A and B are shown apart, each in its own frame.
Chain A
Amino acid sequence: MRARKNIGGLDALMLIPAVFIGLFFLFPVGTVVGRGLAGDGLDAVIDLARSQRQRDVLRFTFWQAVVSTVLTVVIALPAAATVAGLSSRARRVVRSIVTVPFVLPTVVVAGAFDELFLATGLDAGAVRLRHTVWAILIAHVFFNYAVVVRVVGTAWVGLDCRQAEAARVLGATRWQAWKEVTLPRLRPAIASASAIVFLFSFTSFGVVLILGGPRRATLETEIYRYAVSRTDLTTAAALAVVQLTTVLGLVAISTWLERRRPATTRVARRTRTLGSRAGRRVNGLVAIALLGGPLAVLVERSFSTGTGYDLSHYEALGTRVRQLPAPATTALWNSLQHAVMATAIALVIGVLASVVVVHGRSSLRRFFDLGLTLPLGTSAVTVGFGILIALDEPPIDFRTRWWIIPVAHALVGVPFVVRTMVPLLRSIDPSIREAAAVLGASPSRVRREIDLAIGARGALVGGGFAFAVSLGEFGATSFLPRRPDDLTAPVALFRLLSTPGDLLRGQAMALAVVLMVLVAVSVFVIESSRGTTEGAL
């Protein structure tokens, strides 16, 4: 039974997220779809279906996403087991460490891998990784390792280990007990982690653009190529429609899997640590090599002058080079400002929307559920492309306004806020609200004293993610018109990286290190403020 909710005063506030999502997300994406399906757009879709190249692009997009997902699960599943067996304090430290790669700017990671291949001689010769499919796949595993470790590891911790023990006592070997009891119970978590990894790999942009080299293209990079390099907006829109349809299907499947994920028991007992010391060591080494290797090369290169080590690359960040409209330090400063604004916007929109999703009227709830799930699945590229073609005429010619970049970043950040807030708000037992009401708190007071007080931590975590994501956002930003004042750090980094020759390499590495440190700091702030809650993402 649901208690009657008094949200009268809230209805007006709900207009804010509704208008925001409608204007900056639904309208632009709707414009893309309209353009992709109307008149010559439909012809373009048909042309695409006929074109061998586009069929190859689509096939490659799917294929690399499937392989990335399988590789990530295979490599990260043992790590999830090891993490589940750790003490809760050790688990928290490990979780924050593996989460850093997850939020690192794609441009930074791509640059790091590119540099790693050059440094280890894997750029040419028999074992060539640079500009191959393998480079893309390895980078995807790098990014998504944390998703599997966190989602599956959390589910694993929640499992009651006595069920596996019961299986052992009933005659199951260690392997049988895992296969028959533990794995089936983990399956929903593995499935939903896989869905997330697949989605991220499917919509991956920066990694494919930089690591894949000129010949490897996925739907995302194809949209970019048509929209920005060739300014063939119709074909780009047609591609975006294909992309959107696929992603929506995937989101529907993953939401369905999410609903089926059973609630884990709160008071799970853990009498012995899972995973042997050997297992811990192997997983530790894999994580260090996979996650630490590229980043170590990145740091080393940023200090290296070829003959020794100094700070010259960092000092060079202050002077403008020909390839950039402003010095890299200006880009960093811009990015920080954007991130602060984007976080503020994402928090306001995300918190209000979460309240509606949890407490709102059912019709509103449905609208917001949909409106919020869409940006989660829609790629940043589509969002950027939509803003580019939809908000281009007065009175809504917003493309060149200074605030459009933070707004685009906030769209990418809102789902993070909602994803941390909604479970937290849902977890509040209605009886404690009733207790507050009985003790004399008015409805608005209850909201402040109970919901906001408890939700604040979720807002902090979600806001932290939004901040980190904004700092590294590349996909949406790369579609927006460039003005010197708006140059962001990831875009500057991309230009430095795509300049041939070694001249700007060191400076690129220095810029990447600065970005990485900023993001890492925000992740550690998030994790330390998360406290004891065992959220998945």
Chain B
Amino acid sequence: MLRVDALTIRFGDVVAVDGVSLTLAAGERLAVLGPSGCGKSMLLRAIAGLEAGDGTVSLDGVNLTDKAPDQRPIGLMFQDHALFPHRTVEQNVAFGLRMAGNAPGERDQRVHELLALVGMEGFGDRATATLSGGEAQRAALARALAPGPNVLLLDEPLGSLDRHRRERLIEELPDVLRATGTAAIHVTHDHDEAFAIGDRLAVMHAGKVLQVGPPGEVWAAPASITVARVLGHTNEVTEGAATVVWRSDALRLDPAGPHEAMVERVHFRGVEHDVRLRTPAGQPLRFVLADPPAVGDNVRFSIEPERVIRFG
């Protein structure tokens, strides 16, 4: 089990990571969701040993805090891959095995296994510069997995891909990790990706981990308004003295409903529509509806109480 305890990283006066504690069970996948600049990449770099900070990092009871990156059984897949441009795909994948001192025969076999695992058979001799975004992604994944790290850290691994490839890799990535039995921390700013990949979800903001739990639970019951915002909730409404959040699926069009708003915009999204409303008080609201009203209409609606998020 990976354990991160009270990890803090400072750059001068800036606190990039602020007292983060996390655990990761063997074979588990933890998604870390947070806006850019929240310190999530820094957190991964510190776990990999590339940044020094206060606090401890340990794996299966062994304290890794003072160990150099090459002394930690932890892999890191970089944003934008960081493939070695002067080496072929095969040589990239073999690099970690070579560092570990594996025999060449063993090495070749493992490289082939991994290239097959990520669907890159036959790409071994290619120069990395000739790879497409998706191919480079797969090569980087194979390279990171090759030395058989106990824990793999993934820093926005799908960030540079187009939508189609992204969706495919979101499905394939957990399969590959399961096949190798690798525990993983997957950092992203995209909540769909985080929900799809993580067994558990950690929400990070301004250097702090605000909430950890299964994605469904965290989404349904954010611990604070900040968590709700990171998760993509936008409808903040004052109810008496408290602030609550209406989930985007909470609206029922209802001529007898207690609320009123004007339809400002409707974006067609295929199965559903993204509907923007504005209340007479001037507050913007955003809902998802299958049958949207027309732009410019004044509508009355009610809110389903079980889809309202209350805090504290």
Q: Which chain A residues have a beta carbon within 8 Å of chain B's beta carbons?
A: 160, 162-163, 165-174, 176-177, 180-181, 184-185, 262, 271-272
Contact = CB atoms under 8 A, between A and B. Distances in A.
A160 B78 CA distance: 12
B168 interface: no
A169 B48 contact: yes
A171 B68 contact: no
Contacts of B49: 168-169
B187 interface: no
Contact of B96 (A163, A170, A174): A170
Contacts of A169: 48-50, 69-70, 72, 74-76, 144
B78 A173 contact: no
Contact of B143 (A170, A177, A180): A170
Among B49, B76, B143, B146, the most chain A Cβ lie within 10 Å of the Cβ of: B76
Interface stretch (B79-87, B267-275, B294-302): B79-87
A176 B70 CA distance: 10
Contact of A166 (B72, B82, B100): B82
Nearest to B70: A171
Given A171-B70, A181-B84, A185-B85, A176 B99 contact: yes
Nearest to A172: B99
Contacts of A185: 85-86
Nearest to A180: B95
B84 A165 contact: no
A26 to B, nearest CB: 39
A171 B107 CA distance: 15
Contact of A172 (B48, B70, B76, B143): B70
A517 to B, nearest CB: 40
Contacts of A166: 76, 78, 82-84, 143
B207 interface: no
B101 to A, nearest CB: 9
Contacts of A272: 51
Contacts of B75: 169-170
A165 B70 contact: no
Interface string B97-120: 001100000000000000000000
- List the 10 shortest-distance A-B pairs measured between CB atoms, nearest first: A170-B96, A171-B99, A168-B69, A162-B82, A169-B76, A166-B82, A171-B70, A184-B86, A172-B99, A163-B82
A168 B68 CA distance: 8
B37 to A, nearest CB: 14
Contacts of A171: 70, 96, 99-100, 147
A171 B48 CA distance: 11
Contacts of B83: 163, 166
Contact of B95 (A162, A170, A262): A170
A172 to B, nearest CB: 5
Interface residues of B, number: 27
A380 B53 CA distance: 57
B209 to A, nearest CB: 22
Interface string B42-85: 00010011110000000000000000111010111010101111
Contacts of B143: 166, 170
7 contacts: A165-B50, A167-B99, A168-B69, A169-B69, A169-B70, A169-B74, A172-B99
A172 B49 CA distance: 13
Contacts of A162: 78, 80, 82
A165 B69 contact: yes
Given A162-B78, A166-B143, 9 more contacts: A165-B78, A166-B76, A169-B49, A170-B70, A170-B96, A170-B146, A180-B95, A185-B86, A271-B51
B9 to A, nearest CB: 11
Contacts of B51: 271-272
Nearest to A174: B68
Interface of B: 45, 48-51, 68-70, 72, 74-76, 78, 80, 82-86, 95-96, 99-100, 143-144, 146-147
Contacts of B78: 162, 165-166
Nearest to B146: A170
Contacts of B146: 170
Nearest to A161: B82
Given A173-B68, A176-B99, A180-B95, A168 B82 contact: no
Contacts of B45: 271
Contacts of A165: 50, 69, 76, 78, 82
Contacts of A174: 68
B82 A170 contact: no
Contacts of A172: 70, 95, 99
Given A160-B82, A181-B84, A262-B85, A168 B100 contact: no
Nearest to A177: B70
A257 to B, nearest CB: 15
Nearest to A188: B86
A170 B50 contact: no
Contacts of B147: 170-171
A429 B95 CA distance: 37
A214 to B, nearest CB: 49
Contacts of A170: 70, 75, 95-96, 99, 143-144, 146-147
A118 to B, nearest CB: 49
A168 B95 contact: no
Contacts of B144: 169-170
Given A162-B78, A173-B68, A184-B86, A168 B50 contact: yes
A180 B85 CA distance: 12
A515 B311 CA distance: 77
Nearest to A171: B99
Contacts of B70: 168-173, 176-177
A261 B143 CA distance: 26
Nearest to B140: A166
A167 B48 contact: no
Contacts of B82: 160, 162-163, 165-166
Nearest to B69: A168
A169 B147 CA distance: 10
B114 to A, nearest CB: 13
B67 to A, nearest CB: 11
A174 B146 CA distance: 20
A407 to B, nearest CB: 45
Contacts of B74: 169
A524 B195 CA distance: 57
A427 to B, nearest CB: 20
Contacts of A177: 70
B141 to A, nearest CB: 13
A172 B97 CA distance: 10
A271 B44 CA distance: 14
A487 to B, nearest CB: 53
A166 B74 CA distance: 11
A171 to B, nearest CB: 4
Nearest to A181: B84
B153 to A, nearest CB: 8
B130 to A, nearest CB: 14
Contacts of A271: 45, 50-51
A185 B83 CA distance: 12
A171 B84 CA distance: 15
A171 B146 CA distance: 11
B149 to A, nearest CB: 9
Contacts of B48: 169
Nearest to B101: A171
A175 to B, nearest CB: 10
Contacts of A167: 84, 95, 99
B198 to A, nearest CB: 22
Nearest to A176: B99
A18 to B, nearest CB: 38
A79 B68 CA distance: 25
